[in-house]
Amino acid sequence: MATVEEPTRPAGRIRDAARTKAEILDVATQEFARAGYTGARVDEIAARTRTTKRMIYYYFGGKEQLFTAVLEHAYSAIRQAEQEVDVDHLDPVAAIRRLAELTFDHHEAHPDFIRLVAIENIHEAEHIAASEQLGALNSPAIEVIRRILDAGRASGLFTAEIDAVDLHAMISSFCFFRVSNRHTFGALFGRDLVAAEQREHYRTMLGDMVIAYLTADRTED
Amino acid sequence: MATVEEPTRPAGRIRDAARTKAEILDVATQEFARAGYTGARVDEIAARTRTTKRMIYYYFGGKEQLFTAVLEHAYSAIRQAEQEVDVDHLDPVAAIRRLAELTFDHHEAHPDFIRLVAIENIHEAEHIAASEQLGALNSPAIEVIRRILDAGRASGLFTAEIDAVDLHAMISSFCFFRVSNRHTFGALFGRDLVAAEQREHYRTMLGDMVIAYLTADRTED
DNA sequence: CTCCTAATGTACGAACTGGTTCGTTAGTAA
DNA sequence: TTACTAACGAACCAGTTCGTACATTAGGAG
């Protein structure tokens, strides 16, 4: 979602296939996130580009494939961020809290990505299903969680029997909801879940919640 | 979302204003949930109705107001369900768990409602803002949570300082995400969050999570 | 320098879409 | 019975939307 920067050669800016393609993808990301798949207009995307609608069809084939490319690009960005997560030097409790915070921060920093995912769910993930790229590779975050979970259970700190994918769902759901549903939640309950002054409050709350669940005293069960 | 049943007088089924209006609302709910606001077609709604497009404009004014009416109707249904919640006879821990389960069940039982809310968030809750009906009355669930929370803290069982609206957000986020993001989550992680055989697992997990958070040992802080 | 192709731009059209115009009829009050 | 209005339907319209046919040119290979 970062805006594509100026080409290296400012004068000879015609005939730069890579650049044209990247610019279309960038503008399309904004437009799809803004208006949804059906609401997005191919003409509008073209107009906000330095090139024409013809190029969208030349490079991507059509609206459908363009949206798939947008999703592939957006997901590859989050995967890259996840791969740079380094929590191996922390104890399990601190590591989980750190991971939850990173997830929290990433959702807050990329509302457009959240919107794209929400939109793709409205369309029942049909574009992800159509993408060869997205079906294959799964999230690095899962592997990280798995390692922390193993360490936490080995040391006896974690009592919960949750697996990595479910814990990821638990963490993501709160982070995702806070961003995706801020408008209806705000309108109905009068509370802005993404207000800057509430940020630390919710960030802490998420960590507390996850740690409480993982370390809860289960002797009484 | 329930399909409108046949009129009381099967023969004289012409000229029934209430029935026509209800049928439009019912079909519109399905169509908006299926395709999103922009994706929904007024012609399609009309075609699946026993009346014509003219009547949609006659009764509702336009596509925008029709969607607002759909939201009003959908929200009024969930409010009604919330009002029938009776947990006053339970101890705080059991009451919170029961409430979480009811929220869980309601989300699972009404995927169309979840989709409508997700769609309305894409449109930044502009239709809720435009509705006089929806802005005013707030959720009965909040009051119920507030009472349980007070009782739990009075008895010393609950140590968390969370308020009712935030606890509602915590519970809703998990329930909402599980339904709203099942498609992308399933496609990316190979796990169906709404699979029938996993239902009890997630229902229990939610309750455990909330109770663990509320009753966590905080002496070490 | 010439030629060839990837890259690009212009203009257009067929189908669709929200909304409206005009006219008709069922039911009811007097 | 009559007259009046709420309820209804068919056809239409103006603006839009995705996609394409056709024409053009930059820039590297030879």
Give me the pLDDT at residue B10, please. 33
* Position A166 pLDDT exceeds 70: yes
Give φ, ψ of B16 to 5 degrees.
-125, 90
Is B184 in contact with A117 (Cβ distance < 8 A)?
A: yes
Is A213 in contact with B213 (Cβ distance < 8 A)?
A: yes
Q: Would you call A76 an interface residue with chain B, using a CB distance cutoff of 8 Å?
A: no
Rounded Cα distance between A125 and A131, Å, is 10
Q: Would you call A37 an interface residue with chain B, using a CB distance cutoff of 8 Å?
A: yes
Give me the pLDDT at residue B72, please. 97
Is A187 in contact with B135 (Cβ distance < 8 A)?
A: yes
pLDDT in tens, B91-117: 999 999 999 999 999 999 999 999 999
Distance D4 C1' – B201 CA (angstroms): 64
Rounded Cα distance between B146 and B168, Å, is 10
Give me the pLDDT at residue A110, please. 97
Give me the pLDDT at residue A29, please. 98
Angle, helices A140-154 vs A164-180, to 10°: value is: 120
Rounded Cα distance between B175 and B78, Å, is 14
Give me the pLDDT at residue B220, please. 62
Give me the pLDDT at residue A221, please. 57
Interface test with B, best of A137, A213, A215, A220 (most B CBs within 10 A): A213
* Position A183 pLDDT exceeds 90: yes
Rounded Cα distance between B15 and B95, Å, is 48
Where on the phi/psi map is residue B216: left (φ > 0), alpha (ψ -120 to 50), or beta? beta
The yes or no reply on domain A80-215 and CATH 3.40.50.720 is no
Mean pLDDT to the nearest integer, A194-209: 98
Is B121 in contact with A180 (Cβ distance < 8 A)?
A: yes
Is B170 in contact with A205 (Cβ distance < 8 A)?
A: yes
pLDDT in tens, A86-124: 998 999 999 999 999 999 999 999 999 999 999 999 999
Distance D19 C1' – B149 CA (angstroms): 58
Where on the phi/psi map is residue A40: left (φ > 0), alpha (ψ -120 to 50), or beta? beta
Q: Would you call B112 an interface residue with chain A, using a CB distance cutoff of 8 Å?
A: no
Contact between B208 and B174 (Cβ < 8 Å): no
Determine the nucleotide nearest to A58 by Cα–C1' distance: C7
Output b/e per residue, A58-78; b: 16+ Cβ within 10 A: ebbeebebbbbbbbbbbbeeb
* Position A219 pLDDT exceeds 70: yes
Q: pLDDT confidence of A135, banded at 50, 70, 90? A: confident
Is B205 in contact with A166 (Cβ distance < 8 A)?
A: yes
Contact between B71 and B28 (Cβ < 8 Å): no
Contact between A149 and A164 (Cβ < 8 Å): yes
Q: Where are the domains of chain B?
A: 1-61, 87-215
Chain-centroid distance of CA B25 in Å reads: 17
Q: pLDDT confidence of B4, banded at 50, 70, 90? A: very low
Give me the pLDDT at residue B136, please. 64
- For residues A127 and A5, the model is more confident at A127
Distance D30 C1' – A14 CA (angstroms): 24
Mean pLDDT to the nearest integer, B56-63: 98
Q: pLDDT confidence of A136, banded at 50, 70, 90? A: low
pLDDT in tens, B172-217: 999 999 999 999 999 999 999 999 999 999 999 999 999 999 999 8
Give me the pLDDT at residue B128, please. 97
* The residue count for chain A: 221
The minimum CA-CA distance between A180 and chain B, rounded to whole Å, is 7
Pick B129's closest partner by Cβ from A117, A187, A211.
Answer: A187
At the topology level, CATH places domain B87-215 in Tetracycline Repressor; domain 2 (1.10.357)
CATH class of A1-61: mainly alpha
Compute the C-alpha angle A205/B204/B118, nearest 5°.
Answer: 60
Rounded Cα distance between A131 and A74, Å, is 13
Pick B188's closest partner by Cβ from A139, A187, A208.
Answer: A139
Q: pLDDT confidence of B218, banded at 50, 70, 90? A: confident
Q: Would you call B121 an interface residue with chain A, using a CB distance cutoff of 8 Å?
A: yes
Distance C6 C1' – A127 CA (angstroms): 29
